[in-house]
Amino acid sequence: MPSSRFTIIRRILGISFKKPLLMSLSVLLATISSLMYFVPYLVIYKILKVLFLHSESLSGTSLISLSVIAVCSAILNVGLYFGALILSHVAAFETSFDLKILLAEKLAKLPVGFHLEYGSGRQYQLMDSGISNIQSFIAHKLPDMVISVVYPVAMILIIVAVDLRFGLAMLFGIAIAYVFHYLSMGRGGAKHMMDLYYDALEQMESASLECIRGISVIKAYGKKSSAFQKLDKSISDYTNMVIPYTRNWEKHMPWFFTLVGNIYLFLIPVAILTAPSSFDAWPDFAVRFLFNLILAPSLASIIPKIGRIMEEFMRVNADVENYHTLMAAKELPQPEGNTTADNSTLSFEHVSFSYKENADYPALSDISFTVSPGTTTAIVGTSGSGKSTIASLIARFWDVENGRITIGNMDIRDMKINALMDQIAFVLQNDRIFSQSIYDNICCGKECTNPEDVINAARAANCHDFIEKLPDGYNTIIGSEGTYLSTGQIQRIVLARAFLKNAPIIVMDEATASQDEESETLIKEAINRLVDGKTVVIIAHRLNTISNADQILVMENGKIVERGNHNTLLEKNGVYSKLWNTYRKTLDWHIK
């Protein structure tokens, strides 16, 4: 449902005035600056009245006094506006900092499902350019917006007070000019046009980010890549939206600027039609006409400025609306107390889960199993059977719909997220490392106060030796000066994180996949040290790696169809046996 204009204004001003004292002072200075702008015109009006009506009372002293007033007001106009900008800039920088912190904290509290649905491109756009646009609006445009409100009000009051006839003539010319301005925005108006523009721009930015992240795939497949096709379509949609609007704008906006820049022409026919027949009334009529003739050209700078400010207002509304949408997103419920589990026994009790409401086929259906401390449970099955969903639910990336997941007989929904994460260490096949030092990458998610702990974790993960050979050892920045790591080295850095965290529960997603023989041997040695005495859940793809697991769960269509150890499951000659036989065939495969 589209937001009303009142809601839009309230939202934008609500964010803009998060620093109320600074912004109130900025608005006050901008208002006084706006009023100072018209003082020289009033001085001119005073001089014209003296010249035409009371020429005998004009003296050098009074002329100098009026000139000083005009000059001082002009200086105040510039000085107060500069002061308003300084205050608004300080408020904008502080507000931008606060918004990014609040947004980052919010993102950390949202379930993974929201991130997948909302899209990383949109989140990045809001965190980066979106908040930057809000910052720019507060710093530059908000004082100008105050001026754009005060200017026309003050001008209308002045021109109506001086002469209603000439005032109405100028207002008539402005009204005609804005007819062309309205036509330039198309049938839906400025807000509709801005909504279409920013939606197309957002889709293009999101597709661009996706292409950058998958540039290796793009280069390999060229235009056949779906990501490239998505980018190509988003660019076409943006072009198809912008070009017709631009042509419509080119058709009508020259008329708008021409009328605004020559608004004085509307005064001439009014002056001809309303000129007094009495000679005695001509001086007063001349004063009013000349004053409006002098004042009219100032509209050529004021009115377009008002139009630009209103466009900026509508433009920043898209970013403000995205910010409010994200901040209003439903977070994972957090318990009031700070409770911890008594032990590391992990249990699924009749758990059912769907990624979308009212899904025809749930991702998991009535899943129950227990993993005791010191034991390993492997989860196997074909793609889409629900293996990774189980791992995601353990970390509470989503909340279960039915049933419950417990650690030490405590429902994980009754644990603080930080307390839950302290219980679990993840070792994923394609885990992420950052463009930071090796030391900081190992410390990811944990405050490291003792460097010796980091080194010991690296030794346990079989990565200390190659780290020592890097240009700056543990201080080497990954990606700097051509320093990159192989997949095997990255996997051992990830294992070092898990060793440092020393969590009682380990969740692994086939950490030895896609490794060369030497790396696989080193990784297996490290894993054996890591899981010793832990509660271990392995998402298995290579069945030979889990043949010694205490318990193997066989998944099919979101259900556990078989369970037992390796030998027991082979004797059943069921689903697991078929998977095992298929896997054995892959070991004998070779290129003809």
pLDDT of residue 401: 85
Measured CA angle at 156 (ends 150, 271), to 5 deg: 150
Calculate the alpha carbon distances from 292 to 263, 270, 297, 481 in Å. Answer: 10, 12, 9, 68
Note the pLDDT tens digit of each residue in 399-428: 888 999 999 889 888 888 888 888 888 887
CA–CA separation, 463 and 346 (whole Å): 30
pLDDT of residue 276: 84
Q: Tokens in use for 500?
A: 């440092």
Cβ contacts of residue 362 below 8 Å, gap of 6+? 352, 353, 354, 401, 558
Note the pLDDT tens digit of each residue in 429-467: 666 778 788 888 888 767 777 889 889 999 999 899 988
Q: Would the pLDDT of 553 be above 90?
A: yes
Per-residue pLDDT, averaged over 561-575, amounts to 91
pLDDT confidence tier of residue 358, bands split at 50, 70 and 90: low
CA–CA separation, 284 and 274 (whole Å): 13
Residues pairing with 427 in the sheet: 508
pLDDT confidence tier of residue 93, bands split at 50, 70 and 90: very high
Note the pLDDT tens digit of each residue in 271-286: 888 888 877 888 888 8
Q: Tokens in use for 358?
A: 């009212």
Note the pLDDT tens digit of each residue in 113-133: 677 677 666 777 788 888 888
Measured CA angle at 424 (ends 421, 428), to 5 deg: 110
Q: Would the pLDDT of 190 be above 70?
A: no
- Among 151-155, 183-187, 297-301, 460-464, which stretch is predicted with the lowest mean pLDDT? 183-187
